[in-house]
């Protein structure tokens, strides 16, 4: 709600905290709103705490966006990208010249765990890039990290292969995954891993049921997808906890695209 210079974001109708680890604390929810505010209204300006004095964020204790002990919060960032996209979309009618369609909106986390050729335990963790939403003025950006994870970096193929018993079979833009529109959404990425030793796989990829939506007639981006090829053959798993895979198996991650802007 906007009342003069005052902006109120009401999250009190968020569902109750879940048994699973997708809850976040109030501080994280407030931070997501502030990120969205800066991204939309002052992306090039330096900010300090006083710049947010006109923003009020309302939350309900015990909800998924105001979790309290002993709620599980291991994947607390799951809904934060969604908060950012919803905040921006709320201004799409009033300020179409500055809004963007939704981004792929999730950290797209993969874990590979096992024993390497030296007999030592290893853990390879990556957050994967995807497509950002288009605006009235430009196509969405391809292969960028989720807005809420702005300090994350991708792992160079050479560094990954030198350190872990994994061979990267492909690292490319996922062409056509951005939403259609007068301005196209950014493309996600495809990253393929061939396992050179027995490995346990852990995945958390979200925004598949509600992928990055378009604005003002633009189409939605493609949802994420994972292929597992080899001793296990699956193409329907986005969340996995310790799936045992064999040497020679391949895991191919396809991240989501951004939403398009305007009717094509």
Mean pLDDT by 10 residues, the chain (264 residues): 86 96 96 93 84 94 97 92 95 95 93 94 96 97 90 90 97 98 98 97 93 97 97 90 96 98 92
Q: Which of 75, 78, 89 has the alpha carbon at shortest distance from 36?
A: 89
DSSP-derived letter for residue 51 is G
Same domain (yes/no): 166, 261: yes
Domain boundary among 99, 133, 154: 99
Same domain (yes/no): 108, 213: yes
Q: Residue 115 has what pLDDT?
A: 95
Domain boundary among 41, 70, 99: 99
Query: Which residues, in sequence order, are bridge partners of residue 204?
Result: 109, 239
Same domain (yes/no): 150, 220: yes
Tokens of 149: 């994870």
Same domain (yes/no): 42, 157: no
250: left (phi over 0), alpha (psi -120 to 50) or beta: beta
Q: Residue 48 has what pLDDT?
A: 82
Q: Residue 93 has what pLDDT?
A: 92
Same domain (yes/no): 95, 152: no
Domain boundary among 48, 69, 99: 99
Same domain (yes/no): 110, 202: yes
Phi, psi of 71 (to 5 degrees): -60, 145
Q: How many domains, the chain?
A: 2
Radius of gyration (C-alpha) of the chain in whole angstroms: 20
Domain that holds residue 204: 101-264
Q: What is the pTM of this model?
A: 0.92
Same domain (yes/no): 159, 182: yes
Same domain (yes/no): 105, 24: no
């Amino acid at each position: 709600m906007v009342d003069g210079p005052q902006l109120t974001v009401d999250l009190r109708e968020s569902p109750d905290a879940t048994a699973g680890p997708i809850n976040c604390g109030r501080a994280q929810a407030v931070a997501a709103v502030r990120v969205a505010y800066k991204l939309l209204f002052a992306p090039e300006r330096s900010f300090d705490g006083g710049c947010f004095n006109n923003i009020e964020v309302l939350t309900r204790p015990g909800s998924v966006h105001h979790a309290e002990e002993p709620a599980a919060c291991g994947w607390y960032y799951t809904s934060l990208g969604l908060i950012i996209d919803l905040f921006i979309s709320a201004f799409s009618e009033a300020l179409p010249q500055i809004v963007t369609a939704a981004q792929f909106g999730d950290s797209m986390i993969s874990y590979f765990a096992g024993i390497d050729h030296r007999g030592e335990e290893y853990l390879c963790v990556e957050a994967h890039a995807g497509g950002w939403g288009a605006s009235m003025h430009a196509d969405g950006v391809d292969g960028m990290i989720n807005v809420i994870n702005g300090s994350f970096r991708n792992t160079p193929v050479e560094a990954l292969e030198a350190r872990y018993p994994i061979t990267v079979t492909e690292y490319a833009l996922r062409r056509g995954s951005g939403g259609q529109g007068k301005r196209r959404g950014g493309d996600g990425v495809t990253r393929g891993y061939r396992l050179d030793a027995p490995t346990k796989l852990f995945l958390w990829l979200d925004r598949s049921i509600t992928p990055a939506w378009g604005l003002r007639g633009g189409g939605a981006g493609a949802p994420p997808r994972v292929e597992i090829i080899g001793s296990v053959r699956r193409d329907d798993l986005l969340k996995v906890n310790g799936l045992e895979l064999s040497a020679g198996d391949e895991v191919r991650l396809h991240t989501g695209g951004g939403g398009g802007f305007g009717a094509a």
